[in-house]
Structure 1
Amino acid sequence: MAEQQIRFDDGAGYEQMMGIWSRFAGEIFLDWLALPSGLRWIDVGCGNGAFTELLVERCRPVEVQGIDPSEGQLAFARTRPASRLAKFHQGDAMALPFADSSFDAAVMALVLVFVPDPAKGVSEMVRVVVPGGAVVTYMWDMLGGGFPLDPIYYEIQAMGIVPTRPPRMDASRMEALRDLWIGAGLEDVQTREITVHRTFANFDDFWMTSLKSPALRPTVAAMKAGDVETLISRVRARLPEDADGRITCGARAHAVRGRRPK
């Protein structure tokens, strides 16, 4: 599969395509973590602030610092109500611009497969949390059929077309996440699976929303018109409608948590 750079620059488009999915999974994730209020958080790879907003709403933190490489995404994040508390900065997950032991909890939400060196990204989260602090993530099961756009990707690949995918999809495996957390020296490492569903008004709603993906859009744009029509027909056949024409899709994420030793 192609492993080209995927640029997330359209915060509004990302919100429609993935922000809603992120919130569905994020609510279950935060319930599972059950961390106390009043913590200092860092949201690594915060993107357009979809998870950051949820974090502020649900966890009542005293501080949230969001880090992301995309100024386009950060500009959207700064328009959210969460920006009354959260601060958003451009930065690199593998070189966080904060001192050691600056936070009580570090999170990556749907990010790890985009980090060129996942182990380095995890070690940076460990570095910036206090001893006893939480280091957590959730990531779509990219290799096991859990990604929300898999109905389209499966049909693209069945047509013999190689789509653009994130560079480190192997890091989404549950075993890989557990190994990364244990390898980073974290204690009390726990994992869980998160399954969510999303309903679209009709097939066109699903299709146009999905095309806002910065990875999928260029792949489809490069296809011949006839091939696009074939792809649409194949995906439509894969996704049955209910009596009102609505389409419900499922997705599955892997989550992991651990604590920095005291």
Structure 2
Amino acid sequence: MGRFSRLLAPKFLAFSKIDDDGPILDAGCGTGSLTCELLSRTSQAMIVAVDISSAYIEYCRQNVSDHRADFDVADLTKLPFADCHFEQAYSQLVLDFVPDTVRAFEELFRVLKPGGRFAAAVWDARGGLVFNRMFLDTAAVLDEEAGVLRKKNFTRPLRQPGQLTQVALSAGFSGIRADELLIRTEFKSFADYWAPFDGKDGPIPAYYSKRPTDLRAKIKDAVRRAYLDGDQDGPRSYVAVALAISAVKIM
């Protein structure tokens, strides 16, 4: 999903109406897509980017050289910052993976200064992520375990419209705006589409790598036919929609 987070980041920050007030928290920075966009849209603010994955943090340290960015390992449910520390906090495509989403929102509220701004975005996995559904719906026909994965994928906390707003309100945020952010996921060929599923990151590659060899072959062939949709192999463009909110801490 890394290449798609890079596409989403500009639209997410445009929706969020970011300014140069700092410090700014990137909560769940991953490989640094949002951090880089934050740096490009500010000139003075310090960016503190955290992730629970030490591998991601090391990657960011090696690949993002701007002195205004600081990368650290941290758990979003136990942020290592004082109360009222940040002017702004942003979280893109991560809060729905945090085991205790309510606690994460409470922590983000805690570390923001009064008047501080917060924004978050997660994929609309059920209704707005075509390339993901293509794999899951196809595999679920062939394998019950894929059906289990599909259900888990579509029913994660925050992935239904309105849930981001509900949890943000319960954490104490006010002035909430909600919107849907649309990008297009572009693939050069089926091989380009399929490559991430043969990787190591994410629940789908983890599921696929553990299936028997013959079942993996059947799933890949069926997904390939879905991708081709009766046409020749080649480029495909699919819609991807993220659910987004922005909010303010008023105390």
TM normalised by structure 1 equals: 0.86
Question: Would the aligned equivalents of 2:32 and 2:60 in 1 still touch at CA under 8 Å?
Answer: yes
- Does residue 222 (structure 1) correspond to residue 198 (structure 2)? The answer is no
Deviates more, 1:207-216 or 1:127-136: 207-216
Is 1:234 matched with 2:233?
Answer: no
Comparing 123-132 and 219-228, the one that deviates more: 219-228
Q: Distance in 1 between matches of 2:153 and 2:26?
A: 20
Q: Residue 95 of structure 2 contacts residue 122 of structure 2 at CA under 8 Å; is this kept in 1? A: yes
The answer to whether the 8 Å contact 1:38/1:60 transfers is no
State the 1:106 CA deviation.
Answer: 1.0
Whether the 8 Å contact between 1:45 and 1:69 is mirrored in structure 2 is yes
Do the aligned partners of 1:187 and 1:261 also contact (CA within 8 Å) in 2? Answer: yes
Q: Residue deviations 1:117-156, cap 9 Å, x none?
A: 1111011111111111011100001233427522212212
- Deviation digits for residues 50-87 of structure 1, max 9, x if unmatched? 21111111233511111111111111011223542211
The one of 145, 162, 169 equivalent to 1:182 is 169
Letter in 2 for 1:232: K
Gaps of 5+ in 2: none
Q: From the superposition, tell whether residues 40 and 245 of structure 1 become closer, same or farther in structure 2 (CA, over 3 Å).
A: same
Query: Do structure 1's residue 106 and structure 2's residue 106 form an aligned pair?
Result: no
The aligned counterpart of 1:49 is 32
Distance 2:227 2:80 in 1: 44
Match 1:253 to one of 235, 242, 247: 242
Contact kept, 8 Å, 1:46 with 1:66, in 2: the verdict is: yes
Q: Match of 2:19?
A: 36
Give the 3-state SS of the residue equivalent to 1:172 in structure 2. coil
- Stretches of structure 1 that go unaligned for 5 or more consecutive residues are 1-17
Q: CA RMSD in A?
A: 2.2
1:162 corresponds, among 145, 149, 158, to 145
CA offsets 1:139-179 (integer angstroms, 9 cap, x no match): 00123342752221221222233245569713122211110
Q: In the aligned structure 2, how far is the partner of 1:172 from the partner of 1:244?
A: 32
CA distance in 2, matches of 1:161, 1:60: 51
Secondary structure of the structure 1 residue equivalent to 2:129: coil
In the alignment, is the contact (CA less than 8 A) between 1:134 and 1:260 conserved in 2? yes
Counterparts of 1:1-262 in structure 2, within 5 Å, are 18-81=1-64, 83-146=66-129, 148-163=131-146, 164=149, 165=152, 169-212=156-199, 213-240=201-228, 245-262=234-251
**Conserved? CA contact 1:113–1:172, under 8 Å:** yes
Query: Taking structure 1 as reference, are residues 56 and 124 closer, same or farther at Cα in structure 2, changes over 3 Å only?
Result: same
Q: What amino acid is the match of 1:104?
A: E
Alpha-carbon distance in structure 1 between the residues aligned to 2:179 and 2:76: 23
- Contact 1:113/1:168 (<8 A) preserved: no
Counterparts in 2 of 1:44 and 1:64: CA distance versus 1, 3 Å: same
8 Å Cα contact 1:114/1:167 also seen in 2: no
Distance 1:28 1:52, change over 3 A: same
Moved more, 200-209 or 222-231: 222-231
Q: Distance in 2 between matches of 1:27 and 1:129?
A: 22
Shift in alpha-carbon separation, 1:148–1:50, aligned structure 2, 3 A: farther
> What is the count of residue pairs matched by the alignment?
245
Question: CA 1:95–1:220 in 2, change beyond 3 Å: closer, same or farther?
Answer: same
